[in-house]
A and B are shown apart, each in its own frame.
Chain A
Amino acid sequence: MELLEVKGLKKYFPVKGGFLSKTVNYVKAVDGVSFNVKQGKTLGLVGESGCGKSTTGRTILRLYEPTEGAIYFEGIDIVTLDKEKLRAKRKDMQIIFQDPYASLNPRLTAGEIIGRAIDIHNIARGKERQRRILQLLDVVGLKREHYNRYPNEFSGGQRQRIGIARALAVNPKLIVCDEPISALDVSIQAQIINLLKDIQEQFHLTYVFIAHNLAVVKHISDDVAVMYLGKIVEMAEKDELFLRPQHPYTAALLSAIPIPDPSKKHSRIRLEGDVPSPINLPPGCRFATRCPERTSICDEVEPDLIDIGGHMVACHHRR
């Protein structure tokens, strides 16, 4: 069953300028993105900084109002919900942020942070609330004595655990994980990835997992979507995508990963040229400025994302 269906999602941010602060242009952060995620599965969302991953993640939860498009959660388009109904739905959809430092209130203890989440949706009170907080601390691998500590007394990995406990507090169905491990050390990253996998199984969670590390995405995802400048350029089941990358950008991305094995010197696809500004997109394919396979049609016509057999690709030369 599809838990989440995103159709033609767009999010444009106005660019103000001039002396009356008029809107002079738009950053097309997300520009027509569609995908589905099945109950209990993980969709990995990868791409370079600024390509619109976080904006996609936040817009799905309506933390940003979409400019266009539909977001079906359990069959209901949440874009059409009023404030009250949306608030109730939010309980089912949570987010874990990239920066464990900035995303926790420094004036609340770990226990209070989790408690607040429980209170907002009226999940439990009194003794039951207390029991639940302690249980959540345990689930994410923290100790009872951590209850009364403040965020600055925790390491980055531990703070991320608090963020995970906070998200779990309301029994969500979907969690958008926005680069939950990017700010952490390699040895700590593995701890958090394992934790996320464990709780997914335990609580039947569905994830949209955002990252720019492809190896991490491969490890945790069932399907993977590759974004470039606000669009999905390739999407497939993960083994398919990693074994047979189709889009030239995906291929370059895969070949750029440094491999921690000096005996494997791999050939690298060299990308020349610069990433165009999301305010001033080229008329044709958005990847054309850097693409080694570009031809004249690429500069004129924007390629659609189409199914070429178990594999969605947006490239004129993969048809």
Chain B
Amino acid sequence: MDTLLKVNSLKTYFYTIDGVMPAVDDVSFEVMRGETLGIVGESGSGKSVTALSIMRLVPHPPGRIVGGSINFKGDELLTKKEYEMRMIRGNKIAMIFQDPMTSLNPLFTIGDQIIEALVTHQDLSRREARDRAIEMLKLVGIPSPEKRVDDYPHQMSGGMRQRVMIAMGLSCRPDLLIADEPTTALDVTIQAQILELISEMKQKMNMSVIIITHDLGVVAEVADRVVVMYAGRVMEYGSVKDVFSMPLHPYTRGLMDSIPKIDVNEDRLKSIEGTLPTLTEKFKGCRFKDRCVMADRVCHEEEPPIVEIDNRQVRCFKYI
């Protein structure tokens, strides 16, 4: 398998009135062709900003990519001109956003929106694009697509809108699909359909997928490898099989323990006390120290580097 995307030491900071906020701080990972990578972590840990950085859509100001590299099919994305990025976005790399209602334009029919993307990126006439749009809607399981293609977004249910987003994302047959919490707003039965759809599409098109979620169950079901983020840092990175069968980092372990399990009866849930720290550039020590049950003196003074053990990366002094 060859590498499709290689993110190396990515740093994306926000320059706000309260100071510099290192939202994504030295993040590295790879996505192979045909692979699904999961990114998990609690809200505010930098998952969406990582995705926006890959798309070069970080809001500026206040945000800016201040370091690192993003290599896509052998090309550096961070030095690309805006018009070059426009040819990549939606065409080679497509993104599905957290909230389908805000990313679909309420004033245009869903057909018009898919057709627009196709005409911009592919050498298709409007007629051909309309046919392709209907074909894509059918593919994602929208009933009577030749009628629904003329619907406005508000005429569809949440699950259907998310399918439309996926149809739109896939219409140009991208090499990489980035799905930012694609099912968080959906019900479990609909979520199951959408996840299955993404896996099916991935196989049909030999596409790679980055799926961002805070639901570890979703990662376990669809991803091959997983990045666990916390406060802008990668805390653990490895194959889903390894990480789930033996989480190394105390944060990963805490996350696993705090999920109520459907097949076990437990009287009290284990939980991670406390909340995400307020980050500034001057933050000292391990970013997880205030919530870590294993923290000792060194954790408060220095930050552990990320190290590799058994095909896995982990950022914690216990493994150094």
Residues of A within 8 A of B (CB): 48-49, 155, 157-158, 185-191, 193-194, 197, 212-216, 218-219, 239, 242, 252-263, 268, 270-271, 273-275
6 tightest Cβ-Cβ pairs between the two chains A and B: A258-B217, A190-B271, A190-B258, A185-B42, A48-B187, A256-B192
Within 8 A of A (CB), among B122-167: 143, 157-158, 160
Residues of chain B lying within 8 A (CB to CB) of residue A239: 265
25 A/B residue pairs, CB under 8 Å, sorted by A: A158-B275, A185-B42, A186-B42, A187-B42, A187-B271, A190-B257, A190-B258, A191-B273, A193-B260, A193-B269, A194-B269, A213-B188, A215-B260, A216-B260, A242-B262, A252-B189, A253-B188, A253-B189, A255-B192, A256-B189, A259-B263, A260-B220, A261-B244, A262-B241, A275-B157
Question: Do the beta carbons of B42 and A258 come within 8 Å of each other?
Answer: no
Question: Do the beta carbons of B258 and A49 come within 8 Å of each other?
Answer: no
Question: Do the beta carbons of A271 and B217 come within 8 Å of each other?
Answer: no
B156 to chain A, nearest CB (A): 10
Question: Do the beta carbons of B192 and A49 come within 8 Å of each other?
Answer: no
Residues of chain A lying within 8 A (CB to CB) of residue B192: 255-256, 258, 268
Question: Does B254 count as interface, using CB distance less than 8 angstroms?
Answer: yes
Minimum CB distance partner of B244 in chain A:
A262
Question: Do the beta carbons of B220 and A258 come within 8 Å of each other?
Answer: yes
Residues of chain A lying within 8 A (CB to CB) of residue B272: 187, 190-191
Minimum CB distance partner of B158 in chain A:
A49
Question: Does B54 count as interface, using CB distance less than 8 angstroms?
Answer: no
B14 to chain A, nearest CB (A): 18
Minimum CB distance partner of B186 in chain A:
A49
Minimum CB distance partner of B189 in chain A:
A256
Within 8 A of A (CB), among B227-285: 240-241, 244-245, 254-263, 265-266, 268-273, 275-276
B238 to chain A, nearest CB (A): 12
Question: Do the beta carbons of B220 and A259 come within 8 Å of each other?
Answer: yes
Minimum CB distance partner of A275 in chain B:
B157
Residues of chain A lying within 8 A (CB to CB) of residue B220: 258-262
For chain B, the bracket of interface size reads 35 or more
Please, how many angstroms separate the alpha-carbon atoms of A300 and B110 in the complex?
A: 35
- Chain A interface main SS type: helix
Residue pairs across A and B with CB atoms within 8 Å: the count is 122
Please, how many angstroms separate the alpha-carbon atoms of A40 and B261 in the complex?
A: 24
Please, how many angstroms separate the alpha-carbon atoms of A216 and B187 in the complex?
A: 14
Please, how many angstroms separate the alpha-carbon atoms of A215 and B214 in the complex?
A: 16
Residues of chain A lying within 8 A (CB to CB) of residue B195: 258
Residues of chain A lying within 8 A (CB to CB) of residue B186: 49
Minimum CB distance partner of A249 in chain B:
B189
Residues of chain A lying within 8 A (CB to CB) of residue B214: 185-186
Question: Do the beta carbons of B244 and A189 come within 8 Å of each other?
Answer: no
Residues of chain A lying within 8 A (CB to CB) of residue B265: 239
Question: Do the beta carbons of A218 and B187 come within 8 Å of each other?
Answer: no
Residues of chain B lying within 8 A (CB to CB) of residue A257: 188, 217, 262
B160 to chain A, nearest CB (A): 8
Apart from the given pairs A186-B259, A190-B269, A260-B216, 8 other A-B contacts in the complex at a CB distance below 8 Å: A194-B268, A197-B268, A219-B266, A219-B269, A256-B189, A258-B188, A263-B244, A275-B157
Q: A49, A185, A189, A259: which has the most chain B beta carbons within 10 Å? A: A185
Question: Do the beta carbons of A186 and B216 come within 8 Å of each other?
Answer: yes
Residues of chain B lying within 8 A (CB to CB) of residue A252: 189
Question: Does B193 count as interface, using CB distance less than 8 angstroms?
Answer: yes
Within 8 A of A (CB), among B162-196: 186-193, 195-196
Residues of chain B lying within 8 A (CB to CB) of residue A190: 257-260, 269-272
A18 to chain B, nearest CB (A): 19
Given contacts A187-B271, A187-B272, A194-B271, contact A260 B43 (CB under 8 A): no
Question: Does B218 count as interface, using CB distance less than 8 angstroms?
Answer: yes
Please, how many angstroms separate the alpha-carbon atoms of A275 and B221 in the complex?
A: 25
Question: Does B215 count as interface, using CB distance less than 8 angstroms?
Answer: yes
Please, how many angstroms separate the alpha-carbon atoms of A212 and B245 in the complex?
A: 27
Minimum CB distance partner of B226 in chain A:
A262
